[in-house]
């Protein structure tokens, strides 16, 4: 199962959520074979986990780019939003 | 006169001071500068020349006059608005003279567009030019990422704008934000904003600084002049070229700058830009949770439904034994019918046999025989008739042939053969008699010749025949060797004889040169 779901880790949040929605509506439609419905549910769970993970990565980090005399970026310095 | 006066410095009557050209040029220049100082002049820009040195040369004109203007390289950045032909402007600077060409001009260090109307006319002209290039085409617009990881903000690091953006981002979905500080008004604004957009695009994935997935170019509200930098071509082009999706949020809702046309999305305010940039995290979490719950419920429901269906079906499934009941019943029925069927069959066949046997009688055979005998009779009669006809035909033919057959020719031939035979026999007899006569005559002649040739006749003439035991002796040596012999004379009379010279023969041999002949002669005599 984990092999089949390797691709999920590469998905963007949006892709993963779109597929999760698809999975849920297919499951709800009830015309999926039992075997497949379990596979589908497992994939849905993996997608959900991936999405939740992406949402948990909500870290705030604000930095200001420092520039040299010619206007080229040299690095960053932390910046606090007031 | 003038020459004379010049020659005579002490010439009276003319107190006009004398200048050299340089002195006068210098004086004019000083006078111009001192008299006018800094002036503001309004006019329409005529021809503009960008010198390679970086200086700008252009003319300011109205319907009748022209004023040469210069802006040195170092002053261009502070000019505010770059001169464009046809643009109505108010320039500020100082008047001066240019001695080498006997000209006066104005050194301009500041330029502003003369009135909103003129500014708007210029903006419209520029917008059309850039639109004609396709920079504002809808096909160029990129879609914004749903959830960017890193957001690059091009704006002033101070003030309400960046604060509003960061606050709204934190409320919705805290993200990594990189702020590229730029002046948002004044002459430096446009080049720095353009450089910042290019700079963010130059970041490489995995480089020292994270490359943003989304750019926001933001500025608070202000006058048309304040926002002018975002109308500059460099900024518009940078926004259009950006490979990173870009949201523009310049001025208030009603302000429109050219960057808004070139950006992928235009936000009416900086806060709105932040809202476009990220979704609301809490909503998403709730949505995801809802989806998860729905999936679980759907799976459970599906399983329950199938379980129920399974139970229903199992109830409907008959017992295994009952499946055999009906076939077993059929077997029994057939089993009962089997013997009856066999005897019925035998009975049926017996009936058929009886019918067949009834038909089988001698009369039937007789009928068949009679028919065949009749046929045989008919055919033999026909054969007899045919045979009789054949015999009669053959007899007729035979009679005809035998009538033609007579011995007469045969007799005639016999007669002829007989005559020929008689002739030949006659001739044979004649020839035979002649042969006999001839043979008799030749026999007599030969007899006489035999008598003539016989040695007996020779004997009669005095010769004799000497015979040894082994036959006739014709030489003396043979006679000596034989020893005894007999001599025949005429009349077949014989006398026995013996050789006498048998003893002396070895003696005589050495004495004689021809012993054989002498010996022979001697013994014989």
Residues 288-317 of B with CB under 8 A from A: 288, 291-292, 294-296, 298-299, 301-303, 305-306
- Complex confidence, ipTM: 0.76
Looking at B23-170, which runs of residues are DSSP E strands?
Answer: 38-50, 56-61, 66-71, 88-98, 103-113, 150-155
Across chain B, which has 525 residues, the per-10-residue mean pLDDT values are 49 75 91 90 91 92 91 87 85 91 91 80 87 90 91 92 92 91 87 93 85 93 85 92 94 84 92 92 87 86 84 82 83 89 90 84 81 91 92 92 83 91 90 91 87 76 81 82 82 80 48 46 46
Half-sphere exposure of B441 (CA within 13 A, CB side): 6
In chain A, where the domains are located: 8-78
Burial of B29 (0-12, 13-18, 19+ CB in 10 A): middle
* B192 close to A (CB below 8 A): yes
User: At which residue do the structure tokens 């970086």 appear?
Assistant: B54
* B439 close to A (CB below 8 A): no
Strand B66-71, strand B265-266: pairing: unpaired
Note the pLDDT of residue A82. Answer: 54
Distance from CA of A52 to the nearest CA of B (A): 7
Residue B495's region, left for phi above 0, alpha for psi from -120 to 50, else beta, is beta
Q: Number of residue pairs across A and B with CB atoms under 8 Å? A: 116
Distance from CA of A6 to the nearest CA of B (A): 19
Of B278, B265, B90, residue with least CA distance to B171: B278
Note the pLDDT of residue B506. Answer: 47
Q: Which CATH class is domain A8-78?
A: mainly alpha
* A24 close to B (CB below 8 A): yes
| B179 with A81: Cβ contact below 8 A | no
Contacts of A30 in chain B (CB under 8 A): 298, 301-302, 305
| B288 with A55: Cβ contact below 8 A | yes
Full pLDDT tens readout for chain A, 82 residues: 444 566 888 888 888 888 988 988 888 887 888 788 888 888 988 998 888 888 887 777 888 888 888 878 888 888 876 5
Contacts of B178 in chain A (CB under 8 A): 63-65, 76
Residues 27-56 of A with CB under 8 A from B: 27-28, 30, 32, 34, 37-38, 41, 44-45, 48, 51-52, 54-55
Q: Are B170 and B213 in contact (CB under 8 A)?
A: no
| A60 with B174: Cβ contact below 8 A | yes
Distance from CA of B200 to the nearest CA of A (A): 9
Note the pLDDT of residue B514. Answer: 45
- B160-172 vs B270-277: helix crossing angle, rounded to 10: 30
Contacts of A52 in chain B (CB under 8 A): 285, 288
């Amino acid at each position: 199962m984990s092999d089949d779901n390797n691709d999920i880790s590469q998905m963007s949040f949006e892709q993963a959520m779109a597929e999760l929605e698809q999975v849920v509506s297919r499951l709800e439609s009830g015309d999926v074979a039992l075997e497949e419905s379990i596979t589908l549910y497992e994939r849905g769970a993996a997608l959900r986990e991936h999405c939740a993970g992406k949402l948990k990565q909500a870290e705030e980090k604000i930095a200001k780019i420092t520039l040299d005399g010619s206007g080229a970026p040299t690095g960053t310095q932390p910046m606090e939003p007031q | 006169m003038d020459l004379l006066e010049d020659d005579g410095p002490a010439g009276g009557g003319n107190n006009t001071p004398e200048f050299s050209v340089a002195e006068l040029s210098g004086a004019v220049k000083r006078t111009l500068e001192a008299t006018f100082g800094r002036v503001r002049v309004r006019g329409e820009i005529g021809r503009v020349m960008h010198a390679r040195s970086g200086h700008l040369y252009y003319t300011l004109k109205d319907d009748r006059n022209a004023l040469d203007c210069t802006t040195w390289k170092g002053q261009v950045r502070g000019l505010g608005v770059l001169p464009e032909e046809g643009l109505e402007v108010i320039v500020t600077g100082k008047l001066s003279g240019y001695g080498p060409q006997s000209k006066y001009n104005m050194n301009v260090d500041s330029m502003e567009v003369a009135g909103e109307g003129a500014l708007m006319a210029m903006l419209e002209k520029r917008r059309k030019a850039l639109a004609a290039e396709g920079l504002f085409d809808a096909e160029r617009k990129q879609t914004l990422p749903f959830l960017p990881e890193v957001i690059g903000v091009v704006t002033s690091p101070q003030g309400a704008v960046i604060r509003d953006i960061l606050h709204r981002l934190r409320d919705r979905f805290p993200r990594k934000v990189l702020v590229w500080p730029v002046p948002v008004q004044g002459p430096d604004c446009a080049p720095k904003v353009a450089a910042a957009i290019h700079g963010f695009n130059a970041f490489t994935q995995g480089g020292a600084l994270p490359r943003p997935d989304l750019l926001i170019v933001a500025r608070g509200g202000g006058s048309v002049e304040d926002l002018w930098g975002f109308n500059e071509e460099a900024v518009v082009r940078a926004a259009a070229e950006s490979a990173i999706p870009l949201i523009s949020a310049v001025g208030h809702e009603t302000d429109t700058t050219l960057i808004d046309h070139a950006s992928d999305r235009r936000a009416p305010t900086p806060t709105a830009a932040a809202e476009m940039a990220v979704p609301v995290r809490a909503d998403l979490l709730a949505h995801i949770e809802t989806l998860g719950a729905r999936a679980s419920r759907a799976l459970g429901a599906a399983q329950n439904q199938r379980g129920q269906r399974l139970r229903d079906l199992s109830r409907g499934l008959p017992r295994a034994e009952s499946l055999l009941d009906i076939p077993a019943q059929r077997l029994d029925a057939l089993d009962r019918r089997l013997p009856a069927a066999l005897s019925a069959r035998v009975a049926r066949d017996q009936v058929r046999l009886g019918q067949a046997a009834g038909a089988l009688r001698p009369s039937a055979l007789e009928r068949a025989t009679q028919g065949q005998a009749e046929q045989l009779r008919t055919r033999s009669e026909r054969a007899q008739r045919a045979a009789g006809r054949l015999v009669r035909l053959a007899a007729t033919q035979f009679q005809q042939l035998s009538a033609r057959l007579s011995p007469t020719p045969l007799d005639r031939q016999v007669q002829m053969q007989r005559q020929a035979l008689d002739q030949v026999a006659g001739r044979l007899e004649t020839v035979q008699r002649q042969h006999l006569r001839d043979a008799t005559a030749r026999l007599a002649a030969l007899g006489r010749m035999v008598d003539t040739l016989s040695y007996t006749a020779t004997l009669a003439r005095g010769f004799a025949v000497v015979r040894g035991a082994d036959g006739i002796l014709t030489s003396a040596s043979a006679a000596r060797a034989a020893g005894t012999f007999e001599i025949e004379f005429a009349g077949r009379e014989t006398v026995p004889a013996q050789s006498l010279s048998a003893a002396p023969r070895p003696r005589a041999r050495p004495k004689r040169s021809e012993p054989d002949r002498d010996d022979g002669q001697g013994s014989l005599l």
